[in-house]
Structures are given as structure tokens and as C-alpha cells.
């Protein structure tokens, strides 16, 4: 996603009491993004570069009080509301402070120190293809499930704006402007982690969706959901929740085909119909043979509403299935025959 998309979603996520994890290559503007949010929301910002911190820097030092060991608050600990705590380079943090990070994420506290009300947390990391060593927390499902993962790939224009703010030489900016392929060649950002839905992730997603308008749900719903559910579950969920896409049976039997569709809606419809014909059993196929004229007419109607190559992919599948024995093969063979001769 772009920097502006990440900025908007990060704000909504933090407003909902959840924690965004910004994943992007060095120099894309993750820190500046957080600074802008802090300035625009009138919050003080604390940046913790975890890769450079010792355990005592994060959790505070032990002391004795009334014959008991207590931990002093670390010097970065906020003493009032309306702070943003930025956990930078979280994937490079020392193993010994991960439990403290988890406690901060889960309970908004470290030992006996509780974060002031309305304190926001945000984290960042570089993707796994960077040159430095990666530690195993970036693939730990229990750890990742605490975040909404936002994978950032800024546009060239966004990077040039950032370069202007950083006062980079004109030679560099002009070169990237003329040769944008050298900005981050072959570097699609991916956490390379197997994110899956869980009861916790659905709860967290619900918290954030409550703060989005209906339009924003359509514009950002998939990106938001994929960062906490994984791309597969997010795709199915967003299509069901944010778009009125009919199922395969409604299309082939009732002719419910939207008049105007975006490319992702077209792809979803074709995939649903492909899955439908691929998975029906012989008993259902036998019943559908009695509806062959209706099915064929509706598929021809669909062919006029989607690109030719998309429809041909469906025809190729039906042709392959027509070679199967039983009623499924017979059904698909009759469909191919009908749609081949009806104008």
C-alpha cells in the first residue's frame, strides 16, 4: 500500500485501541509517517529503537522498596495522556525483551507501570529480505496476532516528496524521477509470514471497522483485513461484507449479474463459478441438467458483462469437465454445446 493509505489506516487502527505494524524497506518514510500522525493529533511521540536497547532501557531497573523488588519506570515512560509510543525495528529487538514487548502490547503495562489512558502504540520493521539477521519473532503467530500488519511500498511521487523533506541532493532526486525502476528494484514488500484468522483477529478487526465509514470500508477493507486475517480470508470476507457480489448459483440460475463491475469483482465472480462447477456432485449435476437452457442463457449474459479472456477461462474449465464421466461431464458438455450456438 502507499504511504498515505498506511497513514490513514494506522491512524484508524490506533484510534480503535489496536496496534499497527508498519513493514517497509529502510528509507520509505515509516518514521516520518508516525511523526506526522503525532503532529496532526497533538500527541507527544516517544521513539524506541529496540535494536539499540538493552533490557533495562525498556523495562526499567530493579530497586528495593519495603523489602520487595520493584522496577523503576524507564526514562522514556510517559507521565501523562496523549502519547504515541513508536516501537521501531521491533524484529531486531533482543530476545530478552520480547516478553516485555508482549506485556506492553497485551496489557499496556510493563511490570507495575501502566501506560496512561489513551496512549497509542505503533511498531515498525524492515521486511525479511533485508541484509541483516532476522529473529524468529517475525513468524511467531502469537506475536503477529497482536498487530494489524501494513506492508508499505511508496509510490515514486511519495518518495520524492519524502526526499525533498530530507533535503536529498537534486542529482539523486532527478535520477529517481527519470529512472523510477531503481528506487526499489524487485522489492515487493512482504512479511513472508503465514497470517491466519483467529478469534482474536476477528475481534481486533471489528474494533477498527467500527471507526470506518461505509465508503472507507470499501476502499480500505481488504487491506485492513489482510493485515490481521491473512490475504485469503480477507479476500473472502471483504467481498462478502463490503461488496454485493452474487454467489455462483444466483448468477447461473437467476441471472443476477451486476451491471457495472470492477476487475476484482469480475475475477471473484469467475472464480466462484469455476469453484461451483468443479465441486458439484453428480446428484446436483443431474438436477441442473433440467435447467440447462436457463444456465446457458445466463452464462451468455455473463459473457457480455465481463472481458473475453475472463469468460474464456470459464469456458476452458467447462470443456475440461465435459470429459468427466457421469452427470457432471454431461452437464458441462451440454453447456458448451448451448453457448457455442446461441448468439
Indicate whether 111 pLDDT > 60. yes
Q: Are residues 190 and 330 in the same domain?
A: no
Q: Are residues 96 and 200 in the same domain?
A: yes
Indicate whether 342 pLDDT > 70. no
Q: Render pLDDT for 147-174 as a digit per residue (tens, 0 to 9).
A: 999 988 878 888 888 788 878 888 888 8
Contact 295, 330 (CB under 8 A): no
Q: Render pLDDT for 205-250 as a digit per residue (tens, 0 to 9).
A: 998 999 898 888 888 888 899 888 888 788 778 877 777 777 888 8
Domain count for the chain:
2
Q: Are residues 185 and 253 in the same domain?
A: no
Helix (H) or strand (E) holding 261: none
Rounded to two decimals, what is the model's pTM?
Answer: 0.69
Look over the chain and give the mean of its residue pLDDT values, rounded to a whole number: 83
Q: Are residues 97 and 237 in the same domain?
A: yes
What's the CA gap between 310 and 312, in Å, rounded? 6
Q: Are residues 256 and 299 in the same domain?
A: yes
SS3 content of the chain, % helix, strand, coil (to 5): 55, 10, 35
Q: Are residues 275 and 209 in the same domain?
A: no
Q: Which of 242, 271, 294 corresponds to the end of one domain?
A: 242
> Which domain, by its residues, includes 316?
248-341
Q: Are residues 297 and 197 in the same domain?
A: no
Query: Which range among 8-12, 139-143, 198-202, 327-331 has the greatest average pLDDT?
Result: 8-12
Q: Are residues 27 and 174 in the same domain?
A: yes
Among positive and negative, which fits the CA dihedral 213, 217, 219, 223?
A: positive
Q: Which of 212, 242, 272 corresponds to the end of one domain?
A: 242
Q: Are residues 154 and 77 in the same domain?
A: yes
Counted residue by residue, the chain has a size of 343
Question: What is the pLDDT, as a whole number, of residue 10?
Answer: 95
Looking at residue 119, which CATH number applies to its domain? Answer: 3.40.50.300
Q: Are residues 262 and 228 in the same domain?
A: no
Q: Are residues 91 and 200 in the same domain?
A: yes
Q: Are residues 41 and 88 in the same domain?
A: yes
Question: What is the pLDDT, as a whole number, of residue 185?
Answer: 55
Q: Which of 242, 259, 293 corresponds to the end of one domain?
A: 242
Average pLDDT over residues 76-80: 88
Amino acid at each position: 500500500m502507499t504511504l498515505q493509505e498506511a497513514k490513514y489506516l494506522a491512524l484508524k487502527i490506533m484510534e480503535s485501541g489496536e496496534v499497527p505494524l508498519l513493514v517497509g524497506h529502510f528509507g520509505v518514510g515509516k518514521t516520518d509517517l508516525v511523526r506526522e500522525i503525532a503532529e496532526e493529533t497533538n500527541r507527544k511521540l516517544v521513539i524506541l529503537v529496540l535494536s539499540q536497547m538493552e533490557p533495562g532501557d525498556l523495562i526499567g531497573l530493579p530497586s528495593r522498596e519495603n523489602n520487595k523488588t520493584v522496577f523503576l519506570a524507564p526514562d522514556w515512560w510517559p507521565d501523562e495522556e496523549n502519547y504515541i509510543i513508536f516501537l521501531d525495528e521491533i524484529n531486531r529487538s533482543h530476545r530478552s525483551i520480547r516478553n516485555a514487548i508482549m506485556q506492553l502490547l497485551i496489557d499496556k503495562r510493563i511490570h507495575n507501570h501502566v501506560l496512561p489512558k489513551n496512549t497509542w502504540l505503533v511498531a515498525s520493521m524492515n521486511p525479511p529480505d533485508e541484509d541483516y539477521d532476522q529473529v524468529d519473532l517475525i513468524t511467531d503467530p502469537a506475536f503477529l496476532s497482536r498487530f494489524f500488519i501494513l506492508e508499505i511500498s511508496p509510490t515514486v511521487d511519495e518518495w520524492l516528496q519524502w526526499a525533498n523533506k530530507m533535503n536529498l541532493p537534486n542529482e539523486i532526486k532527478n535520477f529517481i524521477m527519470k529512472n523510477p525502476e531503481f528506487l526499489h528494484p524487485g522489492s515487493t514488500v512482504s512479511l513472508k509470514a503465514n497470517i491466519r484468522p483467529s478469534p482474536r483477529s476477528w475481534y481486533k478487526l471489528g474494533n477498527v471497522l467500527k471507526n470506518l465509514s461505509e465508503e472507507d470500508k470499501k476502499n480500505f477493507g481488504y487491506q485492513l483485513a489482510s493485515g490481521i486475517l491473512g490475504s485469503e480470508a480477507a479476500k473472502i470476507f471483504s467481498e462478502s461484507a463490503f461488496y454485493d457480489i452474487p454467489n455462483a448459483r444466483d448468477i447461473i440460475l437467476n441471472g443476477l449479474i451486476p451491471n457495472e463491475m470492477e476487475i476484482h469483482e469480475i475475477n471473484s465472480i469467475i472464480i466462484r463459478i469455476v469453484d461451483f462447477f468443479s465441486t458439484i456432485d453428480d446428484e446436483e449435476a443431474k438436477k441442473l441438467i433440467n435447467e440447462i437452457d436457463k444456465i446457458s442463457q445466463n452464462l451468455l449474459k455473463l459473457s457480455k458483462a465481463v472481458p473475453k479472456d475472463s469468460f474464456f477461462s470459464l469456458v476452458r474449465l467447462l470443456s475440461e469437465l465435459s470429459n468427466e464421466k457421469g452427470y457432471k461431464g454431461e452437464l458441462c458438455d451440454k453447456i458448451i454445446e448451448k453457448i457455442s450456438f446461441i448468439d
